[in-house]
Amino acid sequence: MKTIVCAALCFCTLIISGQEFNQEVVLENGKKFMVGKINQKGLESEPYADWFKPGYESYMVDEQMTRMFKKNLGKHDIKLFLGTWCGDSKREVPRILKILEKSGFSKKQLEIVALDRRKEYYKKSPTGEEKAWNIIKVPTIIFLKDGKEVNRIVESPIESLEEDMAQILLGKPYLPNYAHLDKSK
């Protein structure tokens, strides 16, 4: 009996963790975008590398600012919602990921979800990760502590990514863009 229960648990774990990363949708015009859970490796592949790599490599992280929040950053999990088709995501996501890397943030604490651009699925993912988070603009970076949302940066920072992250992670007052539209706060 123990063997059957153990085998069933292993099977369920494989199914749950087996969601394919970096799924692509190809439109009739040949344009591609990713949907669902993705990772940096997917962003570094073509055609996304055309915008990801230059944005990542050219961004100069404010290391003085990151030192201020580095210790607190590790106490948080992050959910990052983006559109690989979205201009704001193409600008901010390489910067966000470089800041996290330079800060020594564990990729195990980061979940990246790409949302759809097609009209009937607009800003949705195949498995609905966005539903509980009231995503109105992309990119949205959500900071969580003990499973609860602390705050978020929506679409673009107010000051700079590093300054906004410092305010959030150091517990200072921070009101993100579009907060008036966010019904979850």
Predicted confidence (pLDDT) per residue in 132-146, tens digit = 999 999 999 999 999
Three-class SS state of 25? strand
Using alpha carbons, list the distances in angstroms from residue 12 to 5, 8, 15, 17.
Answer: 11, 6, 5, 9
Flag the least confident range among 18-27, 67-76, 101-110, 176-185: 176-185
pTM > 0.75: yes or no:
yes
Q: Choose between 74 and 11: higher pLDDT.
A: 74
What whole-number distance in Å separates Cα of residue 38 and Cα of residue 84? 10
Nearest to 139 by CA among 114, 102, 169: 114
81 neighbors 139 (Cβ within 8 angstroms): yes
pLDDT digits (tens, 9 = 90+) for 35-92: 999 999 999 999 999 999 999 999 999 999 999 999 999 999 999 999 999 999 999 9
Using alpha carbons, list the distances in angstroms from residue 27 to 33, 160, 184.
Answer: 8, 34, 33
